[in-house]
Structure 1
């Protein structure tokens, strides 16, 4: 069933209804920021009372405090985000710098290691060159570990000149005979009373002779180093048994002899 209002004169809105309408209007004006500016004094007084009665002022104040709190929280979060970003960027930069420092330190260590290795190689090379120079310039006994059995200028009928023009070193047949120093072969072959013999021109301009050899291992014009084998000892020529006849000379010719022992000692040989 539907109900309908009776026709006729309508009643005016109640006081409560009018107040509610005004409160709603005041709230609308408050949201637009024009409350109170355009109201009449009577309406403003009534509205002020109405707002106070409805608690609208308190609601607006609470909303403002909440907005401030939200803004503060947002700012704090923004600051925290900025601080975190800065901390992260700093950590990344520090990690990058540390990695670069490690790479640089490793490269420097490798460079130093290579430099040390190069220095060691150079030192070893210098030592080898020095040893080679010493070997080439040093003098040796013509027969290793031997000794003189017949001295220089010893007299007797065994020598055509009446005296020994060199010294005899003990050397069993087949012993290795070496150049006492570096030089060049100027004679290699039969030498009459010397049998198979070799004459070397030494680097200092002197000459050395090796006689009574069983065999010769070098040829004229050949360069030899100190200590290099040049022949095998024997007893060829005017010899009473295996030994090595050794002479030191000022020229390649017979008769230019000098004391072989003094010669060897002057070159550092212990004889």
Structure 2
């Protein structure tokens, strides 16, 4: 059973009752967004005390809620901006790292290519270089020297002073075309050089290469000795235009033309 409070002309609602009702009404209107349209009549119906203690308080509650919403929206926007900035920074860092990686790879590739070119050039120069056949030696008998020791009456090469067993080297790059006994030359080696000329190494005590083998400048091919028609151990060296006897050319001029100091 509901109880109602009697009212009449002799008794109006109390100040507290009216104020409470007005606050509730304003709050409800604030929530629905129609506070602007209904506030004026409510103010007109009430007295000054109600306006100050009731409606003003309700408006303060609405303003506080709006401020909270605005603050929350601002915080969310700030968080979104920070997240976007972080994502952009991370993307930029990845882009920079990838760019640095590509640059490093390109630099390393260029350095490898440069080293390979330098190595190829150094090898090319080495293979095209010429050296003396006996290191630290000297010419003991010159080219075209006359003597009855030679069937032609003159020396067809030059002799390098060398004790028996001294290392003998190929003067340049080439292919061995003869390696064995050579009659008056004793144990001998003939090499076809890369430039088409031939070099001969005679009177060897031992031979260290075989026909068809390729040799490089300074490679040991045998040991000096005193085999064949000799009076003592040495290396007989010839430069030729063909592998055959009689095609000899000046060995000193030949070596000097290839940069060898003889």
TM-score, normalized by length of structure 2? 0.81
User: Gaps spanning 5+ residues in structure 2: where?
Assistant: 1-6, 26-45
Instruction: Out of 146-155 and 243-252, give the one that drifted further.
Output: 146-155
- The aligned counterpart of 2:186 is 195
Q: Does 1:257 align with 2:213?
A: no
Q: Tell me how far 1:111 sits from its aligned partner.
A: 2.2
Q: Does 1:170 align with 2:178?
A: no
- The aligned counterpart of 2:117 is 126
Match of 2:204 among 207, 213, 237: 213
Distance in 2 (CA, whole Å) between partners of 1:95 and 1:23 is 60
- The aligned counterpart of 1:81 is 72
Distance in 2 (CA, whole Å) between partners of 1:221 and 1:209 is 15
Please give the residue correspondences for 1:174-185 in structure 2 after superposition, counting only pairs within 5 Å: 174-185=165-176
What's the C-alpha RMSD, in Å, of the aligned pairs?
A: 2.6
Distance in 2 (CA, whole Å) between partners of 1:23 and 1:89 is 51
Instruction: Out of 208-217 and 130-139, give the one that drifted further.
Output: 130-139
Q: Does 1:158 align with 2:149?
A: yes
Q: 1:78 to 1:162 in 2, by over 3 A?
A: same
Q: 1:201 to 1:97 in 2, by over 3 A?
A: same
- The aligned counterpart of 1:92 is 83
Please give the residue correspondences for 1:1-271 in structure 2 after superposition, counting only pairs within 5 Å: 18-21=9-12, 56-271=47-262
Give a deviation string over 1:80-101, Cα, whole Å, max 9, x none. Answer: 2211111111111111221222
Distance in 2 (CA, whole Å) between partners of 1:136 and 1:102 is 50
User: Gaps spanning 5+ residues in structure 1: where?
Assistant: 1-15, 34-54
Distance in 2 (CA, whole Å) between partners of 1:189 and 1:23 is 141
Residue aligned with 1:214, SS? strand
Distance in 2 (CA, whole Å) between partners of 1:95 and 1:239 is 91
Distance in 1 (CA, whole Å) between partners of 2:57 and 2:257 is 113
Distance in 2 (CA, whole Å) between partners of 1:175 and 1:63 is 125
Q: Tell me how far 1:21 sits from its aligned partner.
A: 4.4
Note if contact 1:167-1:245 (Cα within 8 Å) is conserved in structure 2.
yes
Instruction: Out of 97-106 and 163-172, give the one that drifted further.
Output: 97-106
TM-score, normalized by length of structure 1? 0.78
Q: Tell me how far 1:62 sits from its aligned partner.
A: 2.8
Give a deviation string over 1:226-251, Cα, whole Å, max 9, x none. Answer: 22221111111111222110000011
Residue aligned with 1:188, SS? strand
Note if contact 1:27-1:56 (Cα within 8 Å) is conserved in structure 2.
no
Between structure 1 and structure 2, the one with the greater Rg is: 1
